[in-house]
């Protein structure tokens, strides 16, 4: 009985620390609009991913081995590089509310695909929670002046699919190295994809003042290196539908930050939407309530080698 209580506490702590990742991601919009140069979203994405990846790889002094070279590239593209790029297209061609709603499809896609790709059964509770979260996000962020752009919608859907399959393949393939090394591989791969894309689309970076440097540093260290390490740790140890549902917290934090810092108003309908999202996330945590799998810092499969 005491062991069961200890396992439950461990699961709760793991869920809460995993939830920190989307909570931090919810501050990205505020950081970008208030601290960073305007109209440089791909530069922001590249400077989030590449320095964080280089730092973690240098710190851990581990490189992939064998099939993990291409697997790390695939995961880095799905979770970081491709996802950020598609998000950029959707954000520029769609109203922010539509982009957020399309992104909220991720838990729905994960619940539908997880049984085939990871072997985890998606209960009706998981699917209901995902759909409920989608409704909540819609109420939270949608406005009446909605203009739909086909390319933007495709990009938004592509971003949701990219994130969904990134989470599912991360779960399916497991983690062959310590957490920070595994996170660094993906950030480095995603950053290497984003840098030439940012240069081609946005041109050379502008001069950066101390405020911009502080913003990029926060996004790289806290919003990317730390947040993604917590996220991948949760993906490895918790039922994947539960982890995907936690991502719905990001638009709630973004709306709350706009209200607190930018003095943006929140309507009763938006507050209702936020309440529904939080209820959906809580409902999703009832799915697959099994003890977390071991998530040691030592490699669990495959082989790695030191940089030196």
The yes-or-no verdict on residue 291 having pLDDT over 60 is no
Q: 9-13, 128-132, 227-231: lowest mean pLDDT where?
A: 9-13
Q: What is the pLDDT of residue 263?
A: 77
Q: What is the DSSP string of 108-135?
A: HHHHHHHHHHT-----HHHHHHHHHHHH
The structure tokens listed for 235 are 């993906």
DSSP 305: E
Q: What is the pLDDT of residue 192?
A: 96
Residue-level pLDDT at 303: 37
* Average of per-residue pLDDT across 259-276: 85
Residue 63: phi and psi, rounded to 5, are -120, 155
Most confident segment among 6-15, 26-35, 244-253: 244-253
Spatial separation of the C-alpha atoms in residues 157 and 119, rounded to whole Å: 24
Q: What is the DSSP string of 4-69?
A: HHHHHHHHHHHHHHHHHHHHHHTTHHHHHHHHSPTT-HHHHHHHHHHHHHHHHHHHHTEE--TTHH
Dihedral angle over CA of 201, 152, 229, 109, nearest 10? -150
CA 305 centroid distance within chain:
28
| Sign for the pseudo-dihedral over CA of 185, 22, 198, 216 | negative
Proportion of the chain above pLDDT 70, given as a percent: 86
Within 8 A by CB and 6+ apart from 125, the residues are 283, 284, 286, 287
What's the pLDDT at 216?
93
- The helix (run of H) or strand (run of E) holding residue 193 is helix 179-202
Look over the chain and give the mean of its residue pLDDT values, rounded to a whole number. 84
The answer to whether residues 219 and 158 touch, using CB atoms and an 8 Å cutoff, is: no
Domain limits, the chain: 17-289
66-95 pLDDT tens trace:
999 999 999 999 999 999 888 878 777 766
**Mean pLDDT across 113-134:** 85
Mean pLDDT of 222-246: 93
DSSP, res 1: -
**Are the C-beta atoms of 119 and 70 separated by less than 8 Å?**
no
pLDDT-derived band at 101 (thresholds 50, 70, 90) equals: confident
Distance CA 114, CA 147 (A): 32
295: pLDDT strictly greater than 70: no
Q: Is the pLDDT of residue 262 over 70?
A: yes
Q: In the structure, what pLDDT confidence band is assigned to residue 115 with cuts at 50, 70 and 90? A: confident
**pLDDT of 307 over the 50 cut:** no
Is residue 44 within 8 A of residue 32, CB to CB? The reply is: yes
**Per-residue pLDDT at 151:** 83
pLDDT tens-digit map of 184-199: 999 999 999 999 999 9
pLDDT at 150 exceeding the cut of 70: yes
């Amino acid at each position: 009985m005491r062991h069961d209580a200890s396992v439950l506490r461990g699961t709760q702590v793991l869920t809460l620390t995993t939830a920190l990742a989307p909570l931090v991601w919810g501050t990205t919009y505020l950081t970008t609009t208030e601290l960073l140069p305007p109209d440089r979203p791909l530069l922001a994405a590249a400077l989030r991913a590449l320095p964080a990846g280089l730092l973690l790889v240098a710190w851990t002094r581990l490189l992939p081995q064998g099939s993990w070279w291409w697997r790390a590239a695939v995961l880095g593209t799905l979770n970081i590089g491709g996802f950020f790029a598609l998000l950029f297209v959707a954000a520029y061609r769609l109203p922010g509310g539509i982009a957020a709603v399309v992104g909220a499809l991720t838990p729905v896609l994960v619940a539908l695909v997880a049984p085939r790709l990871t072997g985890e059964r998606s209960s009706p509770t998981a699917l209901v929670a995902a759909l409920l979260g989608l409704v909540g996000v819609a109420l939270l962020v949608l406005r009446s002046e909605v203009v739909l752009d086909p390319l933007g919608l495709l990009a938004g859907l592509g971003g949701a699919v990219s994130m969904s399959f990134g989470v599912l393949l991360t779960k399916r393939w497991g983690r062959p190295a310590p957490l920070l090394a595994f996170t660094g591989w993906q950030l480095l791969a995603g950053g290497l994809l984003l840098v030439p894309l940012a240069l081609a689309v946005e041109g050379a970076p502008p001069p950066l003042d101390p405020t911009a440097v502080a913003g990029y540093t926060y996004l790289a260290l806290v919003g990317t290196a730390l947040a993604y390490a917590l996220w991948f740790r949760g993906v490895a140890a918790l039922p994947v539908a539960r982890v995907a549902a936690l991502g719905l917290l990001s638009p709630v934090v973004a709306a709350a930050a706009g209200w607190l810092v930018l003095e943006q108003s929140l309507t009763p309908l938006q507050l209702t939407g936020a309440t529904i999202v939080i209820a959906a996330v809580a409902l999703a945590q009832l799915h697959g309530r099994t003890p977390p799998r071991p998530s040691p810092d030592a490699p669990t499969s495959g082989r790695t080698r030191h940089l030196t």
